[in-house]
């Protein structure tokens, strides 16, 4: 008798730890949570089977809803979307008590899940949300009252605006893990550093070209004075030994600078 009492106490504690302390049918709750653990991808057969089990247990709709709600709350991001599609299937194909019970919950469930997943999953959630408005029961009826859907849309809009204002230059995070997000940030930082390096090299090239241009003009004036003094000698000098014109010297110098820039950029890549 004592062992039975202890066992019952342990089961009660386990249920409360799982968030099922207020569930009427704890056996059904545990069975359904266990079945949800098999929904690791968007499997139509599994979703259909769990939808039929929900329909067969309409009297315990609160238990089914809580099992799905807890699964969505505590699962890793990549497992949330299949369970979300299951909830959508139950709401659309079974309806009735399930829709009524979700009126006051769907907003929080939707927004909390939206915040925890990546952009790809968010897009799929938003497409499903649009089917809840005039995409249910022949296209003339909302799945939920208009004020419920409007509140979800407004909440998502505010979250998007807040994220855009907070990090305007940071690329969107992808993936389920912190490591994925950190890798994206590091790649972005390297790209910015390379861009800054390229701009620095371009400024240096421009500055060198300007300095060389000023020096060439000065040398050109000096060369003109020397040429006037030795004009007769220059006329008999072999063409290959004549000094190159300043413009040609400047072009060669600029070409050399461009080659230097290309070498630096190739090394950087």
pLDDT in tens, 203-222: 877 777 777 666 666 666 66
Q: Residue 102: pLDDT above 80?
A: yes
How would residue 4 be classed by pLDDT, with cut points 50, 70 and 90? very low
Sign for the CA dihedral angle at 180, 181, 184, 190 comes to negative
Q: Which CA distances in Å does 113 have to 72, 160, 203?
A: 7, 14, 48
Q: What is the overall mean pLDDT for the chain?
A: 77
Q: Residue 42: pLDDT above 60?
A: yes
Q: What is the mean pLDDT of residues 146-155?
A: 95
Which range of 43-57, 182-196, 205-219, 247-261 scores highest in mean pLDDT? It is 43-57
In the chain, the percentage of residues whose pLDDT exceeds 70 is 61
How would residue 264 be classed by pLDDT, with cut points 50, 70 and 90? low
pLDDT the model gives residue 241: 46
- For residue 144, with 0-12 CB atoms within 10 Å meaning exposed, 13-18 middle and 19 or more buried, which class applies? buried
Q: Which two tokens stand for residue 265?
A: 């950029």
How would residue 202 be classed by pLDDT, with cut points 50, 70 and 90? confident
Tell me: the pLDDT tens digits for 67-77? Answer: 999 999 999 99
In the chain, the percentage of residues whose pLDDT exceeds 90 is 46
Query: Are the beta carbons of 112 and 131 closer than 8 angstroms?
Result: no
Q: Residue 97: pLDDT above 70?
A: yes
pLDDT the model gives residue 68: 97
């Amino acid at each position: 008798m004592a062992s039975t009492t202890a066992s019952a106490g342990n089961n009660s504690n386990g249920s409360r730890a799982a968030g099922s302390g207020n569930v009427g049918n704890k056996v059904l709750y545990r069975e359904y949570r266990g079945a949800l653990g098999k929904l690791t991808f968007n499997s139509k057969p599994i979703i259909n089977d769990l939808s039929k089990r929900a329909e067969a247990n309409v009297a315990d709709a609160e238990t089914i809803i809580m099992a799905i709600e807890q699964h969505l709350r505590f699962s890793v991001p990549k497992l949330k979307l299949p369970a979300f599609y299951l909830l959508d299937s139950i709401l659309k194909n079974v309806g009735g008590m399930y829709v009524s019970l979700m009126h006051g919950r769907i907003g929080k469930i939707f927004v909390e899940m939206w915040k925890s997943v990546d952009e790809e999953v968010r897009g799929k959630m938003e497409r499903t949300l649009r089917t809840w408005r005039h995409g249910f029961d022949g296209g003339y009826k909302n799945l939920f009252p208009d004020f419920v859907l409007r509140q979800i849309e407004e909440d998502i809009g505010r979250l998007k605006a807040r994220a855009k204002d907070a990090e305007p230059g940071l690329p969107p995070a992808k993936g389920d893990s912190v490591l994925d997000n950190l890798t994206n940030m590091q790649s972005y930082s390297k790209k910015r550093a390379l861009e800054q390096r390229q701009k620095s090299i371009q400024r240096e090239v421009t500055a060198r070209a300007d300095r060389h241009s000023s020096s060439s003009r000065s040398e050109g004036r000096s060369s003109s004075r020397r040429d006037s003094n030795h004009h007769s000698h220059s006329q008999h000098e072999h063409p290959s030994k004549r000094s190159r014109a300043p413009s040609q010297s400047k072009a060669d110098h600029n070409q050399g600078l461009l080659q230097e820039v290309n070498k630096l950029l190739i090394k950087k890549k």
